[in-house]
Structure 1
Amino acid sequence: MSEKTKKRFEKDPEVIVSELNGVRSLHLNGSMVQSSMRIAAPNELELVYTQCMMGFLLFYPKPEKILMIGLGGGSLVKFVYHHMPETRITVAEVNPQVIAAAYQYFELPQENDRFEIIVAEGGQFVVMQSISPDVIMVDGFDDDYQIPSLCSQEFYDQTRQMLNKNGMLVVNLLSRDKQVKTLLQRIERSFNGHLIAMMTEIRGNLIVFAFKNNPGKFSWKSIRKTANKLEKQYPLPFAEFVSKLQKYS
């Protein structure tokens, strides 16, 4: 990255792009990394928490429509776009500068008939839109704080209402957040207790998978079998995800 590029982003405190040891990262309003891309492998998931968010495939292997709230550097978009060609992706992102950075520095694909970006605040988007996605993925942070409009009881209620009959909500939380228990209780309340969680690493991110309708009793044998199949399709450690689900369910 040129000095010119670095200086350009230093002038704008909201969106900062850094680069270290072949990994390019996006920061919002602080030093915390929001998204990272290994320059030699731009379509793979560099950060562990983004890998774990794809753990929803253990329960919903073939989603037709995914709604992502929060774009970041577009890591999840790119992974789904390149590895799941049958899936349509809609992204709600409130900050046009984030979108511009994702295109300029993180190799985000151009919009087409299976990928669109809507400039909108996520909380308002789920109220106004009538789409029924199979999966909603929420990754909404301002530095290391959850964006209030993306973690309220009303927001979680609305995401459940928006999902299709057997849909899933995937939420990225910080385990060290003082209000994480409150947020889990809100999700549990909105989704009638139908949720399971995965700790990415010690004191790391907590990924929550919530089900619109009761998924029934989990058969770990069946989930492990699904994990083995998924590992043949995608470059992700699904068997490890299952282990993490057992520890933190």
Structure 2
Amino acid sequence: MRSGRGFPARQARWGANKFPAIELSEEGGVRCLHLGSSMVQSAMLLKAPNDLQLVYTQYMMGFLLFHPHPRDILMIGLGGGSLAKFVYHSLPLTRTVVVEINPEVVAVARSYFFVPGDDDRLQVRIAEGSEYLAGHPETADVVMVDGFDEGCQVSALCTTDFYDSARVALKRNGVLVVNLLSRDKRFHDYMSRIENSFNGRVASVMVEPHGNVIVFAFKHSPGKRVWENLASRACDLETELALPFTRFVTKLQRSSPV
């Protein structure tokens, strides 16, 4: 990508070598974060830094159709902080804890992507995601997982134990939200693990054109009434948050017995 004025097309990472390279790019007023590959990990429109620029992040907010008033959200993976910022500015009654293993990602997110500092509604913890999740049972209404290194799913964040821990970390009506890639050769393995951990209570939506698949897994069934009212909920949320909830509903695929 070409650079914006005064901003490098690529800015190599700095510090320890145990994490993938952090690189930044900017073009057409959009700033992007890359972690170890050319894949865009996070993107921010400079004129609207709190909006969700990437469609897959917009679809990850689809959990609001099932859990419209989350009190506590746990995010695994910060990246450029798009989801953390959106929740912070759009859901003022929600507390968010973000777990990020790489402190340099946190520094870049706060320096270049305007992620707020810690306060009573947003905390960023430097920790390994699977270990943190396993140590915090029944603490989250929503667990959001978006963990990639060098274009691949972080292996510790897609094991059976991890998905089991995610179920335990959720409160009674909690929802797990996972960003996967359909082209990943282990994609069907990951889906099977999620379905097994959540007793088949799983729904998913494909995000074009890049092949992201956003998976929603429910600790308990949302219930027949929620599914029947999904379209009307989508209209209301789309008006409120300016996200494509109605299109999301038309593409949503669910497994029985969701």
Q: Of Structure 1 and Structure 2, which has the larger fraction of its residues in helix?
A: 1
**Residue of 142, 149, 154 corresponding to 1:147:** 154
CA–CA distance in structure 2, aligned partners of residues 218 and 201 of structure 1: 29
**Residue of 18, 26, 31 corresponding to 1:19:** 26
Q: Normalising by the residue count of structure 1, what TM-score does the alignment of the two structures yield?
A: 0.94
**Residue of 65, 68, 76 corresponding to 1:69:** 76
CA–CA distance in structure 1, aligned partners of residues 233 and 10 of structure 2: 47
Listed one character per residue, the Cα deviations across residues 166-187 of structure 1 (whole Å, up to 9, x for unaligned) are: 1010000001111110000000
Listed one character per residue, the Cα deviations across residues 124-171 of structure 1 (whole Å, up to 9, x for unaligned) are: 111223461000000000122100000000000001011001101000
Shift of 1:9: 2.4
- 2:130–2:157 contact (8 Å) kept in structure 1: yes
CA–CA distance in structure 2, aligned partners of residues 133 and 154 of structure 1: 18
Shift of 1:216: 2.9
**Aligned residues: percent identity?**
52
1:114 equivalent to 2:117? Answer no
Q: Normalising by the residue count of structure 2, what TM-score does the alignment of the two structures yield?
A: 0.91
Query: Against the structure 1 CA distance between its residues 6 and 97, is the aligned structure 2 distance closer, same or farther, given a 3 Å change threshold?
Result: farther
Hey, what does 1:196 align to over in structure 2?
203
Query: Against the structure 1 CA distance between its residues 231 and 53, is the aligned structure 2 distance closer, same or farther, given a 3 Å change threshold?
Result: same
1:80 equivalent to 2:87? Answer yes
Instruction: Note the residue ranges of structure 2 that are not aligned, 5 or more in a row.
Output: none
CA–CA distance in structure 2, aligned partners of residues 153 and 11 of structure 1: 34
Moved over 6 A (4+): none
Hey, what does 1:159 align to over in structure 2?
166
Query: Against the structure 1 CA distance between its residues 220 and 160, is the aligned structure 2 distance closer, same or farther, given a 3 Å change threshold?
Result: closer
Instruction: Note the residue ranges of structure 1 that are not aligned, 5 or more in a row.
Output: none
Listed one character per residue, the Cα deviations across residues 36-64 of structure 1 (whole Å, up to 9, x for unaligned) are: 00101100000010000001111111100
- 1:156–1:186 contact (8 Å) kept in structure 2: yes
- 2:179–2:215 contact (8 Å) kept in structure 1: yes
Hey, what does 2:48 align to over in structure 1?
41
Shift of 1:202: 4.4
Shift of 1:229: 1.0
Superposed CA RMSD in Å reads 1.9
CA–CA distance in structure 2, aligned partners of residues 116 and 2 of structure 1: 33
How many residues of Structure 1 are paired with residues of Structure 2 in the alignment? 248
Which deviates the most, 153-162 or 196-205? Answer: 196-205
CA–CA distance in structure 2, aligned partners of residues 148 and 242 of structure 1: 30
Shift of 1:20: 1.0
Query: Against the structure 1 CA distance between its residues 113 and 245, is the aligned structure 2 distance closer, same or farther, given a 3 Å change threshold?
Result: same
**Residue of 5, 8, 12 corresponding to 1:9:** 12
